[in-house]
Amino acid sequence: MKKVWMLFAWFVCTVVGLSAQPAFNERPKLVVGIVVDQMRWDYLSRYYDKFCSDGLRRMMDQGYSYNNCQINYLPTVTAIGHASVYTGTTPAFHGICGNNFSIDGRGVYCCTDTTVMPVGTNNKKDGQMSPVNLLSTTIGDQLRLHTDFRSKVIGVSYKDRAAILPAGRSANAAYWLDRKNRQFISSTYYMQELPQWAKDYNRVLVKNEEFKKVGEDVGLYPLTGHITVDMAIAALDGEQLGQGGETDMLCVSFSQTDVIGHRWGTRGEHTDEAYLELDKDLSRLFQALDDKVGKGNYLAFLTADHAAAHNNQYMQDHKMNAGKWLSQELRKSLEQYVAEQLGNKQPVVEAIRDYRFFLDHRTIAAQGMDLQRVKEVVMDFLRQQPNISFVVDYEKAAYAPVPQFLRERILLGYNFHRSGDIIVCVNPGYYEFGSWSSPVGTTHGEWNPYDAHIPLLFYGWQIPHGENSSEVYITDIATTVCNLLHIQQPNASIGRNLTFK
């Protein structure tokens, strides 16, 4: 009898093992990554009753929501967020340290690449772009590696950085908008000529009367979301995504929400309109995916690159602590203070970007000054300023007298060659006020929940309905998607695999 039971157990294990093998190698036909620029997590509940049933509510009502997804590095800005979503890591490893940053003292824009030429335009300023500064692989890169580059990976967005960084270094293509010429463009990093389907859509786009009316300010209108979805659907058709023998990936980023937020803030009719139109655009995208790939055959996720603070005046009007941090006005006083203390003749600050001070190492050395002493004097000045909570020397951040969670975020955001020298954290409700924000608008960049708490929704292939309020991180997204696909996570990923239960 014992032998019979052993034989039965062997049979059951063999059958179960055989039946599990196909599931292990099973993948969706298409992965769709969606990033909504400057989307706060609480917008999901704020607009829930106004959303249509087939847009964001489809993901919320039929998919899985992680309700406490946090950004685990500083600063919280666009290029870093897009890179972190898809690499599963932070600036310390992927090297995208801001929209603009310095590499060993040389100021750079995150995607500028003068070794490539624009495709689809003569506008070099907007077209000479690539992922040249991205140091680590993305979900799409890993998918391409796993399938010996048979999978197709495409990025589409209004902003160049929001199309390029998600798609990764080995992407088949990334397309972004040349606002001046009202066309979607690319660069020779990807191709020598736009594919015919992209040319065809551009011909439709240039005739768009609404687009002509708004001109280069298109980012301030929901129209940007409409044409982003149109271009994504054109790519879906033109490249036959999800129709081949391997899993493909489409990375779609909506940028108009960020432009509108900077101009008009988190409240008001313009922001309301932006999110309700976004919802309609997502409904159109999902319908196209249902029709062309098949409902249940694609895996989609939606998140944000960062969130946003409420407008400081709005907060003050309602008796809450808030205000502006005027870093550029501070700069002149800072330089004067350093000169009084150290006697230097030339400025010591190269730039102030996203609450970080980039010191001019070459000028400091040329004047015979000690870099560490300059840092100490700069930090001493900053500690005397109002509305600053912490001032941290990046090189000594591991021992800085700041809360542990904040220390970790500072370290994860620090790349020795690219992040500058000193970072400050301002008081809650305060934010850096610059040319990118209007008096009634807002911005982002700090550790606080209003900047760092973002939505995270999964929907579609093998995703159950449910929600989870445990703290998870932006860096967990790539690891989770790669685990669902049974492929290796990106090569600098620090994320955890999330479960759906």
- Helices 223-238 and 196-206 meet at what angle, rounded to 10? 150
DSSP string, 8-52: HHHHHHHHHHHHHHHHHH---SEEEEEEETT--TTHHHHSGGGS-
The letter for the amino acid at 106 is R
Q: Is 443 one of the annotated active-site residues of the chain?
A: no
How many Cβ atoms sit within 10 Å of the Cβ of residue 61? 14
**Tokens (6 digits) for 219:** 């980012």
Pairing of strands 298-303, 30-36: parallel
Q: Tell me if 184 sits within 8 A of 176, measured CB to CB.
A: yes
Q: Tell me if 464 sits within 8 A of 449, measured CB to CB.
A: no
Give me the half-sphere count of Cα atoms (radius 13 Å) on the Cβ side of residue 265: 16
Q: Tell me if 283 sits within 8 A of 54, measured CB to CB.
A: yes
Q: Tell me if 85 sits within 8 A of 33, measured CB to CB.
A: yes
How many Cβ atoms sit within 10 Å of the Cβ of residue 180? 12
What CA–CA distance (Å, rounded) separates 119 from 186?
5
What CA–CA distance (Å, rounded) separates 187 from 194?
9
Alpha carbon of 280 to those of 51, 273, 297, 313: distances in Å?
A: 8, 11, 22, 31
Q: Which of 76, 78, 89, 303 is catalytic?
A: 78
**Residue 445, phi-psi category: left (phi > 0), alpha (psi -120 to 50), beta (remainder):** left
- Catalytic sites, residue numbers: 78
